[in-house]
C-alpha cells in the first residue's frame, strides 16, 4: 500500500484556549496535501488531459472525460495521428472528498502504469489489464495528482482499450467518476491541439471545399466523406421548393445578412448592403421563389396548446423569441424572425420534418402530431415579433439565376439540377490564410461570421496536411455532438447541468417538469450502442419513457457514429457487454424476486410490456420489457446496487441499503447481487417475449 499522504508535511499545533466553542481547544492541525492554489483551481476543468505519442515522433493531445480510452484495431488513436501503435498519458487530478484508502484497477488491453501524487502505484505489463491485481491507494483529501501511462497493444489487430476503476468500503468497482476528474486547462500544448480540432470542424462545417479545391496531397472530399470526418458529408440546406416555404421579404434580408436574422447561422454574407446588393438579393429571391407561392397561414392552430407544447416538448430549451443579437444565457436560437420567414402552414410543415431539406440540420426531428405542429406554429408565429422592411424593388429571376451561380450560392445549395456551380478555386496556400474568407477584408469573398479565435483555429488547421480529414475518431465525434447538437439543452452531464430546468424556472409557465431528463454522465457505459443507434435513428418502436412530455429527438445523420463514440468515450467496445448465458431457472426466480407479491415490486414503478406500472406515484420509469436490450449488464448491476450513487436525483429505490442485502430474505438469503442477477434473467425473458410479439 502506498501512503501518498506522507509526501505532505503535517504540523500539529497544541493550542490552549480558543473561541471555538464551549469547550477548551485541545488540538488543531494545519497544512494539508491535496490543496491547490486558487489560480490552479480556477483553471481546472473536468476531464483528464491525454497526450498521445507515436514512434515516429508524432504527438497529439486532447481531453477525455473519463479515465478511459478505446481505439478500434487498425485505427488511429486520434485524427491527427497515424494508424499505428501509440502511448497515451492521461494526467490530471482526482478529487477526493475525504482522505482514505481505496483499491484501484484497470480493464482493457495494453500496458499501463499508474502514478498517484507522484508515486507509482501500479505497473501492468502488456496484455490483459484486468489480469493485474488491484492496488490499494491512500488518497488525500482534495486533489490527487493522477498520471496513467498507457501503451497500446503491439498487435495492431487488437483494440487499444483502457478503463480505470476504483472501489471502497461502501461501493464496488466502478469507473472513476468524471465529476471528480480535473485537468489544468492552461496547458498551451493542449490549447493548441484543441484549436486544431476547432479549425478542422469549422472547415468541414462551413463547406470550404465547395469553393476551394483540396490540396494535392488530399483525396477528394467526396471520397473522404464516406470514411473520414463525418461532417465532410454535410451539405448546405437544399433550396428546393423555396417558393413554397419562404416569404420574399425575409429571403431578401436573409441573403443580405443571414446572421442578422439567425444568431447561429453559418451562412456567409455574399453581398454588401448597398442598393445594388439589395437589387441583387431581390433578383435571387425572385429566382428562388419562382418555384411557387408561400403556403397561406393556417386557419386554426391552438396557441394555448402551442405554448404548453413549447415547454413540454422542450423547444424552450433551444429557442427564444428575443432578437438574434440579444444576449441569452443559454445560447439559444432566436425565433424572432420566424414569422417573417414562414407562414404558419409552412412552419407547421417544417416542424413535421425539419430535415426534409437539410439532413444535417441541428434542428432535430421531434415526434409531433399534426395538430401539435400546427399549435406550435400558431404559438411561435404569435410570439415571433421580428419585422423586416418590405422589399419594394422588384426582382429579376433571370438575373437572379445568374447571380445564384456567380456569387457562389450554387456551390453549396441544391436548387435546380440544371445549374452548374462555379468551378472551385485553387487550394489555399500559407500566404492566403489571412486573405479572402479568412481575412479581415473580404473584397469579393464571402463574409463568414467567424470570430478571431475561429479564424486562428482555421488558419492553424489549414496549415496542417489535412490528413486528419481522412480519419475518424468516434469518441471525438461524440464529444463534438454534445456541443453542436446542444445536448445540454435537455441533458446534464458531469458537472454541467441541463439548461432546460433553468429555462423553465426563469421563463416557463408550468415550473420544472417533474420528470428529469436522464443525465448522460454514464451514458456510454450504461447504454448498449446497438440500442442507442436505433434510438438516434428514430427507429425504436417505443418510447423509452412514454410518460415524459418531452421527446427525445431523432438524429439519423449523426446517430450511428454517435452511438459508437459514446461507447468508445467510456472505454467500451461497441459490442462489449459480457454477461452469463440466459438461464431459465434464474429467470423463474427473478420473476418472483421482481414480483409485486413477496418480491421487490418492480412493476410498482416500471411498466412491463403494455401493462402500466401499478403504483408509480411520482416515480414512473422505463419499461422492464426493454431493459436488457437497453442496458449493459454490468451497469445494470451497478445501478441496482446503488442508484443514488449514480444519480442522486433518481427516485429509483435503493433496495440494498448496505449494498449487500435487500430486505427480501426469502431469496438467496437476501443476497442482493444474486437477486439482481436473477431479475436480469427475468428481464431477458421479458425482452425475448416482447420481441416475439407481433
Residues forming the site for another protein (CB under 8 A): 12, 15, 18, 20-30, 32, 34, 97-100, 140-142, 169, 495, 497, 501-502, 505, 511-512, 514, 591-592, 595-601, 603-605, 608-609, 611, 614-615, 617-619, 644, 648-649, 651, 653-655, 657-658, 662-665, 686, 689-690, 692-693
Q: Is 213 exposed, middle or buried (0-12, 13-18, 19+ CB in 10 A)?
A: middle
CA–CA separation, 339 and 348 (whole Å):
12
| Cβ atoms within 10 Å of 256's Cβ, excluding its own | 23
Q: Which is nearer to another protein, 28 or 325 (CB)?
A: 28
CA distances from 450 to 204, 334, 366, 507 (A): 14, 19, 30, 31
Q: Which is nearer to another protein, 163 or 488 (CB)?
A: 488
Task: Report phi then psi at 43, rounded to 5.
Answer: -90, -5
Tell me whether strands 171-175 and 11-14 are parallel, antiparallel or unpaired.
unpaired
CA distances from 555 to 266, 472, 535 (A): 20, 19, 8
Helix (H, G, I), strand (E, B) or coil at 617: coil
Instruction: State the cell numbers at 326.
Output: 440579444
Q: Which is nearer to another protein, 307 or 494 (CB)?
A: 494
DSSP H stretches of helix in 386-497: 397-406, 409-412, 452-462, 474-484
Helix (H, G, I), strand (E, B) or coil at 604: helix
Q: Which is nearer to another protein, 402 or 496 (CB)?
A: 496
Q: How far is the CB of 96 from another protein (least distance, A)?
A: 9
Contact between 671 and 660 under an 8 Å Cβ cutoff? The reply is yes
Q: Which is nearer to another protein, 197 or 681 (CB)?
A: 681
Which residue has cell 399534426?
370
Which residue has cell 479564424?
455
Q: Which is nearer to another protein, 122 or 517 (CB)?
A: 517
Q: How far is the CB of 70 from another protein (least distance, A)?
A: 30
Tell me whether strands 333-334 and 319-320 are parallel, antiparallel or unpaired.
parallel
Q: List the beta bridge partners of residue 64.
A: 48
Looking at residue 161, the DSSP 8-state letter turns out to be E
Contact between 38 and 22 under an 8 Å Cβ cutoff? The reply is no
Q: How far is the CB of 540 from another protein (least distance, A)?
A: 19
Q: Which is nearer to another protein, 137 or 535 (CB)?
A: 137
Q: How far is the CB of 175 from another protein (least distance, A)?
A: 20
Q: How far is the CB of 6 from another protein (least distance, A)?
A: 13
Q: Which is nearer to another protein, 407 or 513 (CB)?
A: 513
**Dihedral (Cα; 39, 45, 50, 51), 10-degree rounding:** -40
Q: Which is nearer to another protein, 78 or 592 (CB)?
A: 592
CA–CA separation, 262 and 264 (whole Å):
6
Q: How far is the CB of 118 from another protein (least distance, A)?
A: 18
Looking at residue 265, the DSSP 8-state letter turns out to be -
Q: Which is nearer to another protein, 251 or 686 (CB)?
A: 686
Q: Which is nearer to another protein, 41 or 303 (CB)?
A: 41
| Cβ atoms within 10 Å of 85's Cβ, excluding its own | 17
Instruction: State the cell numbers at 77.
Output: 488513436
**Dihedral (Cα; 103, 109, 111, 113), 10-degree rounding:** -20
Q: CA Rg, the chain, in Å?
A: 29
In the chain, the N- to C-terminal Cα span, in Å, equals 58
Q: How far is the CB of 505 from another protein (least distance, A)?
A: 8
Looking at residue 517, the DSSP 8-state letter turns out to be P
Q: Which is nearer to another protein, 291 or 654 (CB)?
A: 654
Q: How far is the CB of 2 from another protein (least distance, A)?
A: 17
CA–CA separation, 461 and 457 (whole Å):
6
Q: How far is the CB of 503 from another protein (least distance, A)?
A: 12
Q: How far is the CB of 685 from another protein (least distance, A)?
A: 9
Contact between 252 and 293 under an 8 Å Cβ cutoff? The reply is no
Q: How far is the CB of 589 from another protein (least distance, A)?
A: 13
Q: How far is the CB of 497 from another protein (least distance, A)?
A: 4
CA–CA separation, 608 and 610 (whole Å):
6
Longest dimension (CA), the chain: 95
Q: How far is the CB of 647 from another protein (least distance, A)?
A: 10
CA–CA separation, 490 and 670 (whole Å):
38
Q: Which is nearer to another protein, 137 or 348 (CB)?
A: 137
Q: How far is the CB of 34 from another protein (least distance, A)?
A: 7
Q: Which is nearer to another protein, 234 or 690 (CB)?
A: 690
Instruction: State the cell numbers at 236.
Output: 448546405
Helix (H, G, I), strand (E, B) or coil at 513: coil
Q: How far is the CB of 619 from another protein (least distance, A)?
A: 6
Q: Which is nearer to another protein, 26 or 123 (CB)?
A: 26
CA distances from 43 to 141, 185, 223, 457, 488 (A): 19, 6, 41, 21, 22
Q: Which is nearer to another protein, 25 or 445 (CB)?
A: 25
Q: How far is the CB of 508 from another protein (least distance, A)?
A: 10
Helix (H, G, I), strand (E, B) or coil at 643: helix
Amino acid at each position: 500500500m502506498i501512503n501518498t499522504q506522507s509526501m505532505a508535511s503535517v504540523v500539529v499545533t497544541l493550542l490552549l484556549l480558543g473561541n471555538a466553542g464551549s469547550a477548551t481547544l485541545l488540538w488543531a492541525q494545519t497544512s494539508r496535501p491535496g490543496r491547490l492554489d486558487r489560480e490552479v483551481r480556477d483553471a481546472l476543468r473536468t476531464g483528464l488531459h491525454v497526450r498521445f505519442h507515436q514512434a515516429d515522433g508524432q504527438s497529439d493531445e486532447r481531453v477525455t472525460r473519463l479515465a478511459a480510452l478505446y481505439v478500434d484495431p487498425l485505427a488511429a488513436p486520434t485524427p491527427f495521428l497515424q494508424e499505428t501503435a501509440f502511448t497515451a498519458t492521461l494526467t490530471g487530478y482526482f478529487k477526493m472528498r475525504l482522505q482514505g484508502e481505496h483499491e484501484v484497477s484497470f480493464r482493457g488491453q495494453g500496458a499501463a502504469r499508474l502514478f498517484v501524487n507522484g508515486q507509482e502505484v501500479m505497473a501492468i505489463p502488456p496484455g490483459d489489464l484486468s489480469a493485474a491485481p488491484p492496488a490499494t491507494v491512500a488518497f488525500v483529501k482534495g486533489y490527487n495528482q493522477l498520471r496513467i501511462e498507457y501503451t497500446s497493444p503491439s498487435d495492431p489487430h487488437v483494440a487499444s482499450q483502457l478503463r480505470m476503476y476504483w472501489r471502497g468500503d461502501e461501493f464496488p468497482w466502478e469507473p472513476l467518476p468524471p465529476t471528480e476528474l480535473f485537468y489544468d486547462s492552461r496547458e498551451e500544448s493542449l490549447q493548441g491541439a484543441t484549436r486544431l480540432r476547432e479549425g478542422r470542424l469549422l472547415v468541414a462545417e462551413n463547406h470550404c471545399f465547395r469553393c476551394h479545391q483540396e490540396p494535392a496531397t488530399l483525396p477528394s472530399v467526396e471520397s473522404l466523406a464516406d470514411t473520414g470526418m463525418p461532417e465532410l458529408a454535410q451539405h448546405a440546406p437544399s433550396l428546393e421548393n423555396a417558393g413554397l416555404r419562404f416569404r420574399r421579404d425575409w429571403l431578401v434580408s436573409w441573403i443580405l445578412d443571414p446572421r442578422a436574422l439567425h444568431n447561429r447561422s453559418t451562412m456567409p454574407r455574399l453581398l454588401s448592403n448597398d442598393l445594388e446588393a439589395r437589387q441583387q438579393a431581390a433578383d435571387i429571391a425572385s429566382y428562388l421563389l419562382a418555384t411557387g407561392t408561400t403556403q397561406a397561414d393556417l386557419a386554426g392552430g391552438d396557441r394555448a396548446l402551442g405554448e404548453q407544447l413549447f415547454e413540454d416538448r422542450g423547444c424552450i430549451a433551444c429557442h427564444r423569441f428575443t432578437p438574434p443579437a440579444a444576449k441569452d444565457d443559454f445560447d439559444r436560437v432566436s425565433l424572432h424572425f420566424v414569422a417573417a420567414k414562414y407562414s404558419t402552414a409552412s412552419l407547421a410543415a417544417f416542424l413535421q420534418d425539419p430535415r426534409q431539406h437539410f439532413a444535417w440540420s441541428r434542428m432535430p426531428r421531434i415526434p409531433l402530431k399534426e395538430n401539435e405542429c400546427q399549435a406550435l406554429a400558431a404559438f411561435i408565429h404569435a410570439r415571433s415579433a421580428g419585422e423586416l422592411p418590405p422589399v419594394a424593388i422588384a426582382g429579376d429571376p433571370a438575373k437572379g439565376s445568374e447571380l445564384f451561380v456567380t456569387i457562389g450560392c450554387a456551390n453549396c445549395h441544391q436548387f435546380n439540377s440544371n445549374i452548374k456551380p462555379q468551378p472551385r478555386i485553387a487550394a489555399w496556400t500559407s500566404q492566403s490564410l489571412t486573405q479572402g474568407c479568412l481575412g479581415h477584408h473580404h473584397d469579393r469573398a464571402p463574409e463568414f461570421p467567424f470570430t478571431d479565435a475561429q479564424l486562428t483555429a482555421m488558419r492553424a488547421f489549414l496549415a496542417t496536411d489535412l490528413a486528419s480529414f481522412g480519419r475518424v475518431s468516434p469518441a471525438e465525434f461524440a464529444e463534438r455532438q454534445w456541443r453542436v447538437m446542444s445536448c445540454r439543452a435537455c441533458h446534464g452531464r458531469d458537472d454541467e447541468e441541463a439548461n432546460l430546468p433553468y429555462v423553465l424556472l426563469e421563463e416557463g409557465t408550468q415550473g420544472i417538469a417533474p420528470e428529469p431528463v436522464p443525465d448522460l454522465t454514464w451514458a456510454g457505459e450504461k447504454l448498449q450502442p446497438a440500442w442507442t443507434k436505433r434510438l438516434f435513428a428514430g427507429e425504436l418502436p417505443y418510447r423509452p419513457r412514454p410518460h415524459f412530455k418531452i421527446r427525445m429527438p431523432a438524429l439519423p445523420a449523426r446517430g450511428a457514429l454517435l452511438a459508437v463514440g459514446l461507447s468508445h468515450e467510456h472505454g467500451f467496445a461497441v459490442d462489449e457487454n459480457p454477461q452469463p448465458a440466459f438461464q431459465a431457472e434464474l429467470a423463474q426466480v427473478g420473476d418472483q424476486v421482481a414480483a409485486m407479491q413477496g418480491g421487490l415490486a418492480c412493476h410498482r414503478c416500471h411498466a412491463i410490456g403494455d401493462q402500466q406500472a401499478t403504483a408509480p406515484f411520482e416515480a414512473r420509469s422505463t419499461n422492464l420489457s426493454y431493459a436488457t436490450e437497453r442496458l449493459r449488464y454490468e451497469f445494470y448491476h451497478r445501478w441496482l446496487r446503488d442508484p443514488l450513487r449514480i444519480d442522486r436525483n433518481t427516485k429509483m429505490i435503493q433496495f440494498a441499503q448496505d449494498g449487500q442485502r435487500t430486505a427480501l430474505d426469502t431469496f438467496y438469503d437476501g443476497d442482493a447481487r444474486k437477486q439482481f442477477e436473477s431479475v436480469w434473467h427475468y428481464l431477458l425473458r421479458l425482452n425475448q417475449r416482447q420481441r416475439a410479439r407481433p
